[in-house]
Structure 1
Amino acid sequence: MSIDPATSPAAAPAPSHASRIHGCLLGGALGDSLGYAVEFETIESIRATYGPGGLRDFAALGDGSHFSDDTQMTLYTVDGLLEALEWANSGVAADTNACLWLAYLRWLGSQGVALPESAPFQPPRWIDGHDVLRARRAPGNACLSGLATGEMGTVQRPVNPDSKGCGTVMRSAPFGLIPHIDADAVYKLSADAASLTHGHPSARQSAAAFSLVIHAVAGGRSLAAAAGTALSRLQDGPLPKGEEADPALLERLATALRHAEAAAAGSADLLGAEDLVRELGEGWVAEEALAVGLYAVLATAPAAAAAPMPAAETTTPGPAGAQEHFRAAMAVAVNHSGDSDSTASIAGNILGAYYGEDCLPADWLAALEAPGVIRGMAERLAELTGA
């Protein structure tokens, strides 16, 4: 059941870009943390532990939950972009993807993996001084193995050529937060960075589509318009020369948007956990994680957020309505058999970028691990992008 707009508070002004950056990174970390508590569990196990409605609140976790590699790698994506921006602001051209590769290599070293001999020396940066980012939180195999080759993977020369795990999608929100660049640049940045660890077309296309959604909502588009634009980009192009959209990705996204539209319109109930997995997948691979995250956001959206119009026209609900939406979307994104932390982190990134910090429940933020590290990276990104 979607949120009833008739009971939602009055619309709120569009958030600042700095608020969208903080909301995106913190919202993703909240979804990641809630989902990480039940990652690898079946829906039957989740219900047995938390009741018929599943895990819906941090209060059910007692001492709280850790965030996972999803948030770690997202923050290292931010750091790679920061380094490229720092070089640019000093008047020196830099290879953005090389900066991202070096950032991911530093993350790899933090996971207790020996860096390849070919890896260049890198002086530590602010992000590297935090123990929470060195904790090993079920990192993806393809991310580890792709970086451990010591080769800087590219679209033309991919590492892990057959891998389409969700490790590309869950780290890619920051590409959509860079203002004053167009959708083509966002797509290329995200797809190129995905190729550093995963070679399958769906891995990079799913990551790029996710970044386009973030870019659109951060620029004032509605949730539905942003999702539709990303799907249209894959269907109609332009895509890189010689590349076609992965059929499995197109099918999953189209199915997610169809079911979400029906639920938001009130013509169908929310998909139950079993139906969600059957229709959209468990989220372990890239297109499934993106589809589940998008569905959770769109199916629970109030009418103002779901309408295909710019959010800049004060169409977003106020803080209470935004937080209600955030909680509802997390309940869908977390409670299924599958990769609950990745699907919920994707949903949290999108809602945070759309609403800004206003959508984040205060009691959830109080339970979040190491919020100062996340806010520190958000502040640096906001400062360097003039937000």
Structure 2
Amino acid sequence: MEETVPSVEAYEAAMVLSGVGDALGYRGARWEYCTSGAQIHAELAELGGLEAITLEPPEWPVSDDTILHLATAEGLATGLEDELLLQELAHRYVTAMGDMEGRKPGPTSILGTSQLRPGEPKGYCIPFNPSGTGCGAAMRSLAIGLRYPHAWELPTLIRVSIESGRMTHHHPTGYLGALAVALFGALGARGEPPECWGAELMRVLPLAWDYVESAGVAVADNAAAWPFFGDVWHRYLESRKLLEGHSPPQMPSLPTPAERDVAYLGWALDGWAGRSGHDAPMVALEALLTAGGSWEDLCARGVLHGGDNDSTGTIAAGCWGLRWGLTSIPPGLHCRLEHRGRLRDAAHRLHALAWGRH
């Protein structure tokens, strides 16, 4: 089947809106740490709604999510491959931690980057972390799918997402979140609808295990922790009639912020929805499936909830932009966004590397 070639504008929208979803959900740490979606929506209404906001520092900076996503994107945009690419990503993650003032990086990302030794043999490998279940690998991985969008590149996407993910989150629940988001980016770039993304993730998970086993790093620890991610995704997809990826999904309406908060908490670890590698992409996919082409609904469901909303917002808004573009977005949300130029430039380089020969 011939692949649909996305426009460079679609890549630009994906990268820029990933930053928009981050800055909007974060609100200078005010909304990221608010546990009530209803309160966030009430505060948004007081501000005049999405049309009235201008996302720019100091009130609306990007968080650690965008800084680390840029590290991934700009590392991939060098065109390096194999060991050289992994060393480059490790170097960029370490460097990115120097730009975290006021951005609230997670403790697992801080620990992981402190253990990296880029430039040394296997200096991008860190020990297995029984607590490394967070979403810090997932939220920085959309660019991997933009770099390796083709079906025949799946082995590369698996390897790069897993190895880059476990540079900080060496636990399957953490780094499989990176695989999920990278895969969603690749499928979106090829024009595959979100209805099929979950089924494709389930197909790819055994291939991911084959890679982890063959890589030979902490295999026993990874094997013991492996089943959780696939089990929770199987249950979620089954509940939405998405396991086959063919028939229309059965999505609950969840019309109010409070109802969405309850639903998202049902998938969460440690009582914080979207905080983990398994459920940050899950919240994002739920929002994409329900919102369709409505940016406002996408924000309501995927960004403005009482969980780790800058991380789910980074993923959901980036994937949405790949399909729907920037034309319907209020200019204030993206024209003065922090690091907008870097996000745009990375998008253009990734598009050229992925699709230049088409």
Query: Normalised by the size of structure 2, how large is the TM-score?
Result: 0.78
For 1:95, what is the secondary structure of its paired residue? helix
Q: Secondary structure at 2:135's aligned position in 1?
A: coil
Summarize the Cα distance change of 1:227–1:353 in structure 2 as closer, same or farther, 3 Å threshold. farther
1:278 CA drift (Å):
2.9
Structure 1 residue 142 corresponds to structure 2 residue 108? yes
Q: What is the RMSD of the two structures over their aligned residues, measured on CA atoms?
A: 3.2
- Residues of 2 paired with 1:154 and 1:329: CA distance? 39
2:338 corresponds to = 369
Cα deviation, residue 360, structure 1? 4.1
Match of 1:286 in 2: 277
**CA shift for structure 1 position 258:** 4.6
- Listed one character per residue, the Cα deviations across residues 199-255 of structure 1 (whole Å, up to 9, x for unaligned) are 111111121121111111111211111232013322676632266583332244334
Task: Note the C-alpha offset of 1:363.
Answer: 4.5
**1:40 alignment partner, one of 26, 33, 38:** 33
Which one is further off, 141-150 or 195-204?
Answer: 141-150
In structure 2, what is the equivalent of residue 25 of structure 1? Answer: 15
Q: Shift of the alpha carbon at 1:176?
A: 0.4
Going from structure 1 to structure 2, the CA distance change for 1:62 and 1:330 (only over 3 Å counts) comes to closer
Indicate the SS of the match to 1:366. coil
Equivalent position to 2:96, from 90, 107, 122: 107
Shift in CA distance, 261/341, structure 1 to aligned 2, threshold 3 Å:
farther
Rounded to whole Å, the distance in 2 between the matches of 1:73 and 1:82 is 14
Identity among equivalent pairs (%):
25
* Paired residues for 1:101-250 under 5 Å: 101-111=90-100, 135-151=101-117, 157-158=126-127, 160-179=129-148, 180=150, 182-234=153-205, 239-240=210-211, 241=213, 246-250=226-230
Instruction: Please report how far the alpha carbon of residue 20 of structure 1 lies from its aligned counterpart in structure 2 after TM superposition.
Output: 2.9
May I ask how many residue pairs the two structures share in their alignment?
Answer: 321
Q: Distance in 1 between matches of 2:311 and 2:128?
A: 22
- Check whether the contact 2:8–2:351 (CA below 8 A) recurs between aligned residues: yes
Partner of 1:304: none
Does the 8 A contact of 1:190 with 1:204 survive in 2?
A: yes
Q: Does 1:253 align with 2:253?
A: no
Query: Does the 8 Å CA contact 1:33/1:341 hold for their aligned counterparts?
Result: yes
What is the aligned partner in structure 1 of residue 70 from structure 2? 75
Alignment partners' CA distance in 2, 1:17 and 1:50: 32
Other structure's SS at 1:239 match? helix
Query: Offset of 1:292 from its aligned partner?
Result: 0.9
1:266-297 Cα distance to aligned partner (Å, 9 max, x none): 77323622322332221111112121111111
Q: Which residue of 2 aligns with 1:312?
A: none
Q: Please, which of 269, 283, 288 is the counterpart of residue 297 of structure 1?
A: 288
Which of residues 86, 95, 108 in structure 2 aligns to 1:97?
A: 86
Indicate conservation of the 8 Å contact 2:112/2:126, yes or no: no
Task: Summarize the Cα distance change of 1:376–1:330 in structure 2 as closer, same or farther, 3 Å threshold.
Answer: same
Question: Which has the higher mean CA deviation after the structures are superposed, 65-74 or 372-381?
Answer: 372-381
Q: What are the within-5 Å matches in structure 2 for residues 374-385 of structure 1?
A: 374-385=343-354
> How far, CA to CA, are the matches of 1:196 and 1:328 in structure 2?
34
Deviates more, 1:178-187 or 1:136-145: 178-187
Deviation at 1:383, TM superposition (A): 3.4
Change in CA separation of 1:251 and 1:157 when aligned onto 2, cut-off 3 Å = same
For residues 277-327 of structure 1, the C-alpha deviation after alignment (integer angstroms, 9 at most, x for no partner) is: 3322211111121211111111223xxxxxxxxxxxxxxxxxxxx3x2x32
- In structure 1, the residue matched to 2:245 is none
Contact kept in structure 2, 1:82 and 1:384, CA below 8 Å: yes
2:216 aligns with none
1:81 Cα deviation from its structure 2 partner: 1.2
Unaligned runs of 5+ in 1: 1-13, 112-134, 302-321
Query: In the aligned structure 1, how far is the partner of 2:62 from the partner of 2:77?
Result: 22
Query: Normalising by the residue count of structure 1, what TM-score does the alignment of the two structures yield?
Result: 0.72
2:185 is paired with a residue whose SS is: helix
Q: 1:61 to 1:359 in 2, by over 3 A?
A: closer
1:251–1:362 CA distance, 2 compared to 1 (3 A):
farther
Q: Which moved more, 1:154-163 or 1:292-301?
A: 154-163
CA–CA distance in structure 2, aligned partners of residues 359 and 202 of structure 1? 35
Q: Which residue of 2 aligns with 1:130?
A: none
Cα distance between partner residues in 2 of 1:34 and 1:45: 15
What is the aligned counterpart of 1:59 among 52, 57, 64?
52
Aligned counterparts of 1:214 and 1:175: Cα–Cα separation in 2: 7
What residue is the counterpart of 1:270 in the other structure? 254
Structure 1 letter corresponding to 2:93: Y
